[in-house]
Every structure is written in C-alpha cells, then in structure tokens.
Amino acid sequence: MVANKPKMTRPTVYQFKLGDFTITNILEGFITRDDMHPVTATNGTAAEVEAIAKAHKLPFPQMEHQFIPTLVDTGDKLIAFDPGFGDKNPGAGKYNGRLADAGYDLNDVDYVVVTHCHPDHIGNLTAGGNPTFPNAEIVFGEDEFAFWKKGENIPAHRPPTLEMFNNVCLPFEDKARYVKPGDDIVSGVTAVDAYGHSAGHMAYHIESNGQQLMIMSDTVAHFAISTANPEFHFGMDDDPVKAVESRKRVLATVADNEMLAIGFHMPFPSVGYMDRHGDGYVWVPHSYQMNLG
C-alpha cells in the first residue's frame, strides 16, 4: 500500500548537441490559465480556437503557459538567453536552482542575451537587487532597449513592464552591449528581426557544423493555435500586426529550411520542427533525432 501520495514531478532540464554546440532548455516554471480564447487569438472566435484545441486533443479553454529559457554552450562561451523571472515571480522563477542540474553555475555565464524586455525575460537579470550573473555581459537589442528607455506609446497592458525595465535593465545601460538584426553574439549565433511581440523583439539563428536552430523566443505564443493560423493576434503582442508579419516570416524560414526550432512558450522540452499545413503550420516535436550518433 502507498503510504503517501507521490509528489507529481516532471522533467525540467533537457540537453542535446547541435554540431559542436550544446543546447540546454530549462523549464523555469509555468502558469495555468482559463483563457485560451481570447488570449491566443484576440482577432479569432472562441469556436475557431476550440476547434484547433480539440484537433490537438487539448482541453478548452484551459491552457498551460510555460517559460523555457535556453542556454547555448559553444565550447568556449556560455550564452544564456532570457533567463526568466527569477525572484520577480517566486512561483515560476526556478531557473537559478535548476541551472546546476544542467551542469552550470551562475558564474559560468559569459553572455546573457535578452530577446525582448518583457518580465518573464528580464526579471532574472538581478536577484536581491544584485546582478544574477556576475561575470556576464548583458546583450540587448538596440531598438528594444531604446523603446523602453524612451517610455512613450507603451501599450495599455505594459506599465508594469516599463517599471520592471526601469528597475532591472536601466542599471546595466552603460555596461551592456547592443545589437541589431544580422549582428553576431559570437560566431554562429546571429540576431534575427522578429519585431512585433515587442518593439525590438529578436529571434536568434544558431548554426554549428551545418546544423541549424532558430530560437524563436515569443514569435509563437502557443504551439497549436499560433501555428495553425499565424495571423491570430496573441493578447500579449505589443504590436499585433507587425508580430503577424514576423511570425509568418520566421515560421516560413524554419519550415523551408527544415531547421530545428525552440520557442520560449512551447511545451517542454520545447524543441521541434515546423511543417507547412494548409495556410498554416503544425508543430512536430523533436523526439530522439539529436541524440543519435
């Protein structure tokens, strides 16, 4: 007889090789929501969203919104992309505690790359008021940082984001590095224009020994809804029209080049492919492809 109800556990770290690079995804945390519609499709109907959910055997309107930061270890440099909420959301901010499970320490990180300045991507730049990654150079998109620093025309739902930016990001201003689309962080790690979800939102193209990966960040909000109809507006997109343009371009690049993709909010371990399906796409989760040979 089971004396105690077992603790419900789930995987939180996943690693694989991409050429000479080691890629690590960490499940920083998740929240559950009851608003699959309208949040995944503010310009779509509840019936449209529910039909896609049912086709993917998903409940409706419940959904799980996951937060999946990525690390890229080139063998020479360790790059942490969007290291999550940290102590700004104790319920979901598990990144720092799980980094050791991936074999790394906060001191090991050489670069922290911020794809955009929303709370789940910048909160963990500091912990207890101090830099979380003491040896890292912080890298921002130039246009993204300038937008939030200016603080004008902020979307109605974003004043708390601006406040966090001012508290967390601005102190790094004089020490940070700023990049534009097409710039390399290191060789093989290149910024990609994915503007729209935020003013200067970036994706990142990773390549090593001919193997390619697109870190899509928040280009795709939901693995089923946002891919089935890329023209759906995500309720957290700051410029929904521009976000659609970027989503369609990035998804086409990933699909047409048959490259791996990682999305910050895709189901853990958040690694997969995009296949064209009608006017949209379907997410094909990675299984064991990158673990062979």
User: In this predicted structure, what is the pLDDT of residue 4?
Assistant: 76
CA distance 258 to 90: 37
Question: Per-domain residue ranges for the chain?
Answer: 13-291
Instruction: Sort 100 into a burial class: Cβ within 10 Å, 0-12 / 13-18 / 19+.
Output: exposed
User: In this predicted structure, what is the pLDDT of residue 50?
Assistant: 98
State mean pLDDT over 7-22: 94
Q: What is the pLDDT of residues 65-94, one digit of tens each?
A: 999 999 999 999 999 999 999 999 999 999
User: In this predicted structure, what is the pLDDT of residue 7?
Assistant: 76
User: In this predicted structure, what is the pLDDT of residue 120?
Assistant: 98
| pLDDT, mean over the chain | 96
User: In this predicted structure, what is the pLDDT of residue 3?
Assistant: 67
Q: What is the pLDDT of residues 143-162, one digit of tens each?
A: 999 999 999 999 999 999 99
The pTM score is 0.97
Q: What is the pLDDT of residues 201-210, one digit of tens each?
A: 999 999 999 9
Scored b (16 or more CB within 10 A) or e, 62-94 reads: ebebbbbbbbbbbeeebbbbbbbbbebbeebbb
User: In this predicted structure, what is the pLDDT of residue 8?
Assistant: 78
Please provide the CATH number assigned to the domain covering 13-291: 3.60.15.10
